[in-house]
Every structure is written in structure tokens, then in C-alpha cells.
Amino acid sequence: MKNSLFISQNVPNTLVKKYNVSQAANNFCLHINELGYFSHHVAIPPANIDQNFQNQIEENTGIEYHLCRVFKHKGIGKAINIILDNIWLYFRILKAPEKNIWFYNVWTGNLLSYLLIHALSFKKVYILLADYNPARYNRWIGKSILWAIRQAKGVVSLSGRCNEVNHNFSCIPGIIPKSKISEQIGNFHRNKCFLLSGTLNKNTGIELALDVFKNIPEATLFLSGIISDDYKIKVEEICRKYKNIIYKGFFEKHSEYLDLLHSVDFTLSLRDPLSIVNHYNFPSKILETLAYNKIVISTIEYPELNGINYLCAPYDKKRLTTYIENLINTDSKSNTTITACLNNTEILIKKYSEEAWYDVFRSMENK
């Protein structure tokens, strides 16, 4: 009998763009939901979601979405609404039959409910930690969150570099359902096309990508996803001036994104290796891309990807430009590194598919 319940901040996929929610985080929690390990999934969407949101149990996923928007969602009214979200969640979990409660991250929006469940119930509370940034723990709220994480019965993290947060710690950097891992060797078109997708901001490399591909007119850079407000004008101007840089927008249909992904040869993950945020986090989109046996170029060498074939490049405009120029001008037929990157199927199934997650959940709950 299933005895575990999952709590996330998901929204229905159709609302990701409207509310500027991370598509990667939403997809990750959907994959966790599809595991079938949890008997129920309750989602309390982020604090920026307004009173127009409709509480519902989603028919195709079974996810129970709930928000309290009793007051106008601004200022003090917004703060009260968030407190009510937490109180509602506490009583919802209190009456749930499941003994093991898993939170997807602990943050200011769910900290109160987490502490109430931990202190005032007989439930065992665990955390699936996808967003750990020690820089935020310098303030009292951050320190409270870190203290709360340490009180959990256990933590499964997407990053193996924050194992000090809890005595019962395991790491799996992402989940890829076995059915979504391609058994076909990746197709290499030799078309010199690159893709940067997801949430497009400075931290995810949009500025570096623009600066590099302005200087490589023979290569094409496709951008897709949601652009942060501070880069929207710049991206529009550069796309008008440089015809090899093309913004495709946000794809409402995942199939349209996959069509673009399959049409390029290289995908980009351009994060600053010196940033404290990137030191402790792992971008799950890398695994999503590897599942299709596409070639990933990353500016960080991740210990979580030990044994996986991908390309590591420097996080520097001049050196990255030279790296990409050399890459597109190399005879790919004789490049064994590229050939290896087109087939990660076996190791992905072993390390990141459903069975690996079943094992880590069971192991942690049985300690």
C-alpha cells in the first residue's frame, strides 16, 4: 500500500507562460508524479498566482491544485493569503492517511506549513531539494529555511554538492522516465545549429550566447522559452540585426519544442561556474535534452553527470567563440567525442530512470 504524499508548487502546464513559472521545474514535478510512487500529489502554486486561479483536481494527472485567495492579492492581503495557503495545507496533510510527506523545496512560501507538519503531526517529513543557494542563508529567513531543511527525516537533492544540509542525504540530479529515453542514436545533421532554451536570463547564459553568436555568422542560434524582462528589448534588437540569431518564443505545445530540438545539432547550458548559485544547483533541462541523445555543451563540468558523454566549454566570450568555431569546422565523421555524445541511452536508464528513484525513496523512508 502506498504511504507517501508529494507537495509541489506546480501549476497546470497551460498556465506556465501566463504566470512565468519555470517550465523545467514544472516538468520535473510532473515526472515525479508519473512515477506512481506517491498516492497523492498536492500542489500549492507560487505566491505570484492571483485570485483568478481555479482550484481543481486535474483529470489527466490527478494533481490537486489549491490556493487561498480570500483577500485582494496585493500588499498585506497577499501576505495573509499566503499564510492561509500554509494553514490550509497543514490541515489537508493532517487528515491525509499517508505517513511520509515529501516537500518539493522548502522556501518562504511553504515554510510555515512545513514547520507545522513537522512539529504538530506524527508525519515523517522529507524534502526533494532542487534549489539550494547558501548565499540566501545569510539572513534570518534564510537561516530559518536551512534549519528547517536540517530537521527533515531526509533530503534527496538534485545536487550532490550540498550534502551538509541533512544527515540523511542522497543525490539524483534529475528524473527521466524510461519511456522518454530514446533508444535511437542521436541524429547529427551537420547544420551548425544551436539551441538555448528555458528561462532566458543572465544566470542561464542569454548574454553570453548573444555575445558569442554575433561573432559566428555561419552558425545559427535558436532561442526558446521565457525571456526575463531586463533582456527582452536587447534580444529583440539583436535578432533584428543578426539574422543568425532567432527567437522562437515560448512553445505552448511541447511537440513544437521537440521539433525544434530535433532540428539542431547542439544544445547549450551556459552557466557561470564561479556563481555560488550554480555551484550548488543542477539544471534538470540538461538531462531532458540528453534523453533525446542530443549533444549538450555545458560551461560547467558536473560531478552529477559522471559517466555521461557531453561537451564542456569555457565560460568566456572569446574562448567560447573559438571553441564553437573549431567545433563546427571539425570533421564530425571522425570525431569520436561527438559520436559518443549521440548515445547515452544505457547509462541514463541506469542512473536516472524510475527504478533509481524508487530505490532512493524506499531507502530513505526505511532508515
pLDDT in tens, 115-128: 999 999 999 999 99
CATH of domain 4-171: 3.40.50.2000
Measured CA to CA, the distance from residue 244 to residue 247 in angstroms comes to 10
- pLDDT tens figures, 300-346: 999 999 999 999 999 999 999 999 999 998 876 668 889 999 999 99
Are residues 65 and 40 in contact, defined by beta-carbon separation less than 8 angstroms? no
- pLDDT tens figures, 262-276: 999 999 999 999 988
| Residue 1 pLDDT > 80 | no
Residues with Cβ within 8 Å of 272's Cβ and at least 6 positions away in sequence, in order, are 203, 278, 299, 315
Could you tell me which of 284, 304, 302, 295 has the C-alpha nearest to residue 24?
284
Q: Where are the domains of the chain?
A: 4-171, 179-348
Which pLDDT score is estimated for 57? 97
The pTM for the full model equals 0.85
In the predicted model, what is the mean pLDDT of residues 187-197?
94
Could you tell me which of 135, 107, 126, 134 has the C-alpha nearest to residue 167?
126
Which pLDDT score is estimated for 332? 64
CATH architecture for segment(s) 179-348: 3-Layer(aba) Sandwich (3.40)
Question: Does residue 322 or residue 252 have the better pLDDT?
Answer: 322
| Residue 24 pLDDT > 90 | no
Which pLDDT score is estimated for 285? 84
* Mean predicted lDDT score pLDDT of the chain: 93
In the predicted model, what is the mean pLDDT of residues 168-186?
92
Measured CA to CA, the distance from residue 280 to residue 30 in angstroms comes to 23
Could you tell me which of 70, 119, 69, 65 has the C-alpha nearest to residue 90?
119
* Torsion-angle region of 190 (φ positive above 0: left; ψ -120 to 50: alpha; else: beta): left
Single-letter amino acid, residue 234:
K
In the predicted model, what is the mean pLDDT of residues 354-366?
94
Strand arrangement of the beta sheet that strand 266-269 belongs to? 245-247, 220-227, 193-200, 266-269, 295-298, 311-312
Which pLDDT score is estimated for 138? 67
Domains 4-171 and 179-348 fall in the same CATH topology: yes
In the predicted model, what is the mean pLDDT of residues 79-106?
97
Q: Which of 67-76, 129-138, 274-283 has the lowest mean pLDDT?
A: 129-138
